[in-house]
Amino acid sequence: MTNRLILLLPALANFAGQPLPPALGKALGRAERARLATGERAQLLRHFQPRPQAWPSAALARVAEAGIEGASPDAWLRADPAHLRADINGVRLLGIGRTVGLDPADVEAFLPALRPLFGDAGMTLDAPHPERWYLRLAPAVKLPEFATPEQALGDDVFEHAPDGPEARRWRTLMSEAQILLHNHPHNARRLESGRVPVNGLWFWGGGVLPDAIASAGPTLYSDDPELRGAAILAKLGGMNLTEFKDFSAAALVDLRGQRDWSGLIQHWLDAAAATVSQHAVVLDFSDGHVFTLARRQRWRLWRKPLERLLP
């Protein structure tokens, strides 16, 4: 189980129809193929097994930011700064976190205005990183199901508003935060510098840390604090993505942020496929398409190479 190189990839649909170089096309044509659950959360749960089974994104990322002691035993919720824009069809979420372009000056301007709002509700808001803001909550707090940025980005925010008996409080807090940010003078300075205004917070990823996380991967290479936190709980080695050099090593490599198909092939997929004589290689796409490449497949001469990547 551990002698594998696993590449976590974005949705295969993002690259549908892209041509494949001959060697990679041959390897994928002979590979084992599976169609599993879709979505990044399901993708991550294929490689990390938390107990109890849940994926509290905020609490896991908080471990990477502040250590295990800094994340437990409280509940945590992401409250990431966002850019919303009204149009004739509603209000759309057009940017969140790193896509908004944030720096420490933004945190210094916005956080003091927002903290009393959440403090009055018994919560603490902080921002250990300009792109990642957190609400600290009581451990027993009941939270509605919040949409992830992956689900909501580009859509009308009302289509992804939380529902259920606990949701009203959060819809109110979201609206009051929007009013505070919309009227904040720092947004005028952001506009003058060519950046979009920060006019909302997006709540997501709530929960408490799992009791434990199991994983078969020996080392994680990722720049995502959420995954780095999971690796800490699973007692895996955790390294930055830029530190990955050895394709012959067993590892879990997080490439979900890659968007350039030619670069993905040139720097990652070709090199990974070339190591199948040493270990299995798993290409795990976030929309559930999984290719497993292994040495024994070289005898599958009857299988045609793939010329293009197809969903």
Say if residue 98 is in the same domain as residue 200. yes
Say if residue 80 is in the same domain as residue 197. yes
271 band by pLDDT with thresholds 50, 70 and 90: very high
Domain count, the chain: 2
Nearest alpha-carbon partner for 146 in 85, 57, 225, 72? 57
289 band by pLDDT with thresholds 50, 70 and 90: very high
Q: What pLDDT score was predicted for residue 2?
A: 62
Q: What pLDDT score was predicted for residue 216?
A: 83
Say if residue 233 is in the same domain as residue 289. yes
3 band by pLDDT with thresholds 50, 70 and 90: confident
Say if residue 150 is in the same domain as residue 20. no
- Asked if residue 164 is part of any domain, the answer here is yes
Q: What pLDDT score was predicted for residue 89?
A: 83
Question: Average pLDDT for residues 120-132, to the nearest whole number?
Answer: 95
Indicate the residue among 207, 224, 255 that finishes a domain: 207
- Asked if residue 166 is part of any domain, the answer here is yes
Q: What is the mean pLDDT of the chain?
A: 93
Say if residue 21 is in the same domain as residue 70. no
Q: Which residue has the higher pLDDT, 62 or 72?
A: 62
Say if residue 85 is in the same domain as residue 173. yes
69 band by pLDDT with thresholds 50, 70 and 90: confident
- Asked if residue 272 is part of any domain, the answer here is yes
Say if residue 61 is in the same domain as residue 50. no
CA distance 293 to 6: 10
Say if residue 30 is in the same domain as residue 141. no
Say if residue 134 is in the same domain as residue 191. yes
Q: What pLDDT score was predicted for residue 36?
A: 96
- Asked if residue 306 is part of any domain, the answer here is no
Say if residue 236 is in the same domain as residue 192. no
Question: Average pLDDT for residues 274-299, to the nearest whole number?
Answer: 94
Q: Which residue has the higher pLDDT, 289 or 68?
A: 289
- Asked if residue 309 is part of any domain, the answer here is no
Q: What pLDDT score was predicted for residue 218?
A: 82
- Asked if residue 305 is part of any domain, the answer here is no
Question: Average pLDDT for residues 141-161, to the nearest whole number?
Answer: 93
134 band by pLDDT with thresholds 50, 70 and 90: very high
- Asked if residue 219 is part of any domain, the answer here is yes
Indicate the residue among 207, 241, 266 that finishes a domain: 207
Question: Average pLDDT for residues 266-278, to the nearest whole number?
Answer: 94
217 band by pLDDT with thresholds 50, 70 and 90: confident
What values do phi and psi take at 12, rounded to 5? -60, -30
- The pLDDT > 90 percentage for the chain reads 84
Say if residue 142 is in the same domain as residue 197. yes
Q: Which domain holds residue 46?
A: 4-54+211-299
- Is the confidence at residue 1, as pLDDT, over 50? no
191 band by pLDDT with thresholds 50, 70 and 90: very high
309 band by pLDDT with thresholds 50, 70 and 90: confident
- Asked if residue 137 is part of any domain, the answer here is yes
Say if residue 98 is in the same domain as residue 154. yes
Q: What pLDDT score was predicted for residue 72?
A: 80
Q: What pLDDT score was predicted for residue 311?
A: 72
- Is the confidence at residue 151, as pLDDT, over 60? yes
Question: Average pLDDT for residues 201-226, to the nearest whole number?
Answer: 93
Indicate the residue among 178, 207, 236 that finishes a domain: 207
Question: Average pLDDT for residues 258-286, to the nearest whole number?
Answer: 94
